[in-house]
Amino acid sequence: MTPVLNVSGYERVKHDMVRGEGCYLYDAAGRSYLDLEAGVWCAGLGHNHPRVNRALRRQMDQGVAHIGYRYTTAVEAAAAAALLGALNLPDGRCVFLGSGSEAVEFSLQAARCATRRPLQLTLTDTYLAAFGLAGRRRCEDWNCLDWRDCIGCRRDDCSTGCHRLAPIPWDKVGVFVFEPGSSSGRVRFPPKPLVQTLARAVQDRGGVVAVDEVTTGLGRTGAWFGFEHYGLAPDLVAAGKGLGNGYPVSAVAMTADMGETLLARGFHYAQSHQNDPMGCAVAMAVIHAVEEEKLVDRCRRTGAHFLRGLEAIRARHTMVRDVRGRGLMLAVELAPGSATDVYRALLGRGILAGCKPEADLLRFYPPLILTEKEIDRFLDNLDGVLDDIESGTGG
């Protein structure tokens, strides 16, 4: 019996992974696995990235992994400047935290303090955090807009007068929290006119916009940040996952105005791991690597190649109901009840895909360094697995 408590809700299917390198994990027998999930969508630069390793070692050699609230090191301001530079918020402010959930919680508490309003607005099919205000989603705090009917809406004059938006009590909404692509949901990308209308309605009435970039940030969607596809000017941006490439660090960046308001109102948020030098060193290394390796452009190109390949597979297989993606954030919707079989068959072929059986979905959030050759190898394997299952010889 293992002494480790696994309450993630996911069955553990491999127990002997020993090494990682780039897009691959290796088991004890030396077999390679193409990691199309980058862990839990974190290792955006790939496993064992030299620049990140160097940053970790350098910070360790200095002996300051963690430091108290009253002291700082130079790396903290440098990392904040790097993140604010990537966000084009040169006068903004930034705080580094431990996890994506924490960054979202911080953003919500900050928005409450800044607006003094009780309600948060978001879209259904959005995952924001494991705990805190967003983890609980109590209906007295939240207005969750069911936007399923907006998916097929062809009107380009989306407005608050629409019967779907009219019931929102705008003057009570302090913050619209937007996830630019539902990662833990069905991997859907909300329509731009809808998002712009909501953001404008909230900001025009004195509320703020917080964007949850925990999965969509740092190049994942083929833009530095997912909100760029929507032409938004957010007040707060929560980043995580890819920011640490597997090291647990997250951040909240905000406009200069938001920073001033929080300071003026005495906003208070303190926990042990805030602006830790180790996390800041890693975050800075990741941001510089994304820049220098030109991963944003690369992700846009390889993502388009991946999506074209998935579309060709959809045309060949009746089992495939839909394919969608933006950058290297992609999904395949399968015939009901078949996702786990496809996932297991891919695992048998040395490929780690994401699987959400309750939505009949396979998900792909690979490292951004994935090559077209690796994509083609995966597509051949997916094609083969679907052939086997459809012909009754596999699964």
Ligand X SMILES: Cc1ncc(COP(=O)(O)O)c(C=O)c1O
- The contact set with ligand X (CB under 6 A) reads 99-101, 104, 127-130, 179, 183-184, 212, 214-215, 240-241
Whose Cβ is closer to ligand X: residue 79's or residue 129's? 129
Directed axis angle between helix 74-86 and helix 277-292, to 10°?
Answer: 40
Minimum gap (Å) between residue 1 Cβ and ligand X: 27
Nearer to ligand X, 222 or 244 (CB): 244
Rounded to a whole number of angstroms, the minimum distance from the CB of residue 74 to ligand X is 26
Strand partners, 176: 121, 209
Radius of gyration, alpha carbons of the chain: 21
CA distance 180 to 256: 23
In this structure, the dihedral spanned by the alpha carbons of residues 287, 289, 290 and 295, taken in order and rounded to 10 degrees, is: 180
Nearer to ligand X by Cβ, of 128 and 353: the residue is: 128
Q: How far is the CB of 206 from ligand X (least distance, A)?
A: 25
Q: Which is nearer to ligand X, 49 or 241 (CB)?
A: 241
Residue owning tokens 């607006």:
115
| Nearer residue to ligand X within complex by CB, 44 or 309 | 44
How near is the Cβ of 97 to ligand X at its closest, in Å?
10
Rank residues 20 and 180 by Cβ distance to ligand X and give the closer one.
180
Helix or strand holding residue 121 (H, E):
strand 119-123
CB of 217 to ligand X, least distance (A): 9
Smallest gap, in angstroms, from Cβ of residue 130 to ligand X? 5
Rounded CA-CA distance 6/242 in Å is 23
C-beta separation of 214 from 127 below 8 A = no
Say whether 253 sits in a helix, a strand or coil. Answer: strand
Residue showing the smallest CB distance to ligand X in the complex: 100
CA atoms of 144 and 122, how far apart (whole Å): 5
Question: Whole-angstrom Cα distance, residue 201 to residue 173?
Answer: 10
